[in-house]
Amino acid sequence: MATAAATCWFTALTSATGPSRYSLTSQRFFATTLRRHSHLIAPNSETNQNAETHAAINPNRKSRTSKKPLPSSPRKSSAQKEAIGQRFPGTSKDEVHFSRADARSSKTVRSQRNQPVAFKSFGLQKKGNKGGNNVFDIKEQQVETGNFQDAAFLNAVVKVYCTHTAPDYSLPWQKQRQYTSTGSAFMIGDGKLLTNAHCVEHDTQVKVKRRGDDTKYVAKVLARGIECDMALLSVESTEFWEGAEPLHFGRLPRLQDPVTVVGYPLGGDTISVTKGVVSRIEVTSYAHGSSDLLGIQIDAAINPGNSGGPAFNDQGECVGVAFQVFRSDEVENIGYVIPTTVVSHFLEDYERNGKYTGFPCLGVLLQKLENPALRACLGVPSNEGVLVRRVEPTSDASNVLKEGDVIVSFDGIRVGCEGTVPFRSTERIAFRYLISQKMLCFRFAGDVAELGIVRAGSFTKLKAVLNPRVHLVPYHIEGGQPSYLIVAGLVFTPLSDPLIEEECEDQIGLKLLTKARYSLAKFKGEQIVILSQVLANEVNIGYEDMSNEQVLKLNGTRIKNIHHLAYLVDSCKDKYLVFEFEDNYLAVLEREAACSASARILKDYGIPAERSPDLSESYVDSLGVNHPVEQHEFGDGPVSNSEFGFEGLLWV
């Protein structure tokens, strides 16, 4: 029986070609308790055999000024909230939902078709739902042909059993209740397996089982690529690998090439095979990593539990990894697989660096130049080029590019005025594809690209170093557990996408949502530090109703990140601790009284430590001691709906 799950969706005011992260509205959608014959697809979690099976959803959220309950509530984390299906109550007819791999959050874009759509990865079949065919009938799309029925390479596809324990971002010193899920993976040789990152997100235990075997073997997660939704596993047991034959990667398929998806989806315990063709190849939004990389659209069925499973061509070669689907009232059979070019980039990145470092980024906001008058005004003589509107301060491009430059070529490849470049023989693809792929090889962090630009009507060539993008508000927390600092009951933590999702829009507030959506990091390591809540005590009387407010200064010093705040508190010798928030709101504590009350507050609320372990390390100023920090340097990027929502704009 399914437990109830509530999911907060964030609506983005943007076009179908420019999805954004958050909305400035406060719409909420709830997946109510799931029962048999429900149209909602929501795999179950098996957290405890004695856990509640009929948890009720309470949509009456607390006000921004109410205190949060300290006991850990059974919040549903990423994979647990995987639910899509019929139109949710309250959705407008012109919204398209782009959900991350496990429904942790969503991005909404305006649809020209004016129909609600859900874009999800189905890597996780939650254990406990034995009545899968009450939700939908998978057997209709299963294929058992002579070619695949006894094919040896099917034995390389395994079932993944994962136990997840996600952080509690609102109460960052503790974890949420654990849950279990299942997905798919496949052998690639050298004792390693490949699966999706969202299948093993926040894992505490991962086990795998081979086809036809009744033994589960413990696996270890070696690397996760959040952007590309890939994870590398290893199994040390020699017994697991006996008679195993790894899969071989094939070339990037072409349109209408047949493709076969293999995995362990909802509807049964044995391996499943579905067939289809390649429908489209283009730069695709990866829901789990909120990134744009090359993707293959297919019409073969991809269902919960399929994620991490391989997609084969007719020669039995792996041409991709199943990871997400696109659902709408007007479309059907739209699934996506990660192509082998992206998979190989992830593997080579791990081999080079011993870890995943990410896909490089140029770090500029571009505008298309389809209007002839616009091109003529900028001095572009031909029908080509894209306009540089903004340059990220943390990117190397900020040293060579200026606003108003027009990029007309990238490593010798001409860029069209609509922001595309040639792809294979007769196709074109989004310009940002070149950032991660250079002809027949890959690009990695630190690689150099040659840009041909038109500046003030004159053509010139420049070189820029490509590095992963720095996010002011991260989509995922490095290391899994969020940082926090408690000062006399005032709980400080960095603003992050998971925290916004957990708190919901009405709790975070319009100003923080605006900053999370529009602001750019001015330097590496910058964070938006917020007072998430106040643990009531006599030492903080009058402040107990404060929550989710950005703290700007401590005793007149601008705060750069949570570690900097901890350093300022520890080194303070003044009589008072003066915290300055937005709109000139002040919170003042007597320093000695605050220090003496901290231990008592921690004991009363059952909190193990006043700060996260990472804040106990020595603070290193990334800007340098003498770096002048002006007030406007922090999170105050100009707000413009067209920056992220206008069809002619794109980040690369």
Q: What residues are labeled active site?
A: 198, 229, 307
How far is CA 369 from each of CA 15, 20, 300, 382, 383, rounded to the nearest angstrom? 18, 21, 37, 11, 8
Segment (H or E) for 461: strand 458-465
Q: Count of residues for the chain?
A: 652
Alpha helices in 467-518 (DSSP H): 497-503, 505-508, 510-518
Q: How far apart are CA 157 and CA 317, in angstroms?
A: 13
CB proximity list for 460: less than 8 A, separation 6 or greater: 452, 453
* Contact (Cβ atoms closer than 8 angstroms) between residue 326 and residue 334: yes
645 is written with which tokens? 């929502």
DSSP track, 159-193: EEEEEE--B-SSSTTSBPPPEEEEEEEEEEETTEE
Cα 542–70–613 angle (5° rounding)?
A: 95
CB proximity list for 89: less than 8 A, separation 6 or greater: 29
Q: How far apart are CA 315 and CA 253, in angstroms?
A: 12
CB proximity list for 463: less than 8 A, separation 6 or greater: 400, 448, 449, 450, 451
Helix (H, G, I), strand (E, B) or coil at 200: helix
Phi, psi of 78 (to 5 degrees): -40, -65
Q: Between β-strands 95-99 and 117-120, what pairing exists: parallel, antiparallel or unpaired?
A: parallel
DSSP track, 234-257: E---TTTTTT-----B-PPP-TT-
* Contact (Cβ atoms closer than 8 angstroms) between residue 610 and residue 486: yes
Token pair 């509690």 in the structure block, residue: 168
CB proximity list for 137: less than 8 A, separation 6 or greater: 267
Using a 10 angstrom Cβ sphere, with 0-12 exposed, 13-18 middle and 19 or more buried, the burial of residue 91 is middle
* Cβ neighbours of 617 (radius 10 Å): 9
* Contact (Cβ atoms closer than 8 angstroms) between residue 82 and residue 122: yes
* Contact (Cβ atoms closer than 8 angstroms) between residue 64 and residue 533: no
316 is written with which tokens? 């039995």
Listed in order, strand segments (DSSP E) in 265-347 are 272-286, 291-298, 310-312, 318-328, 334-339
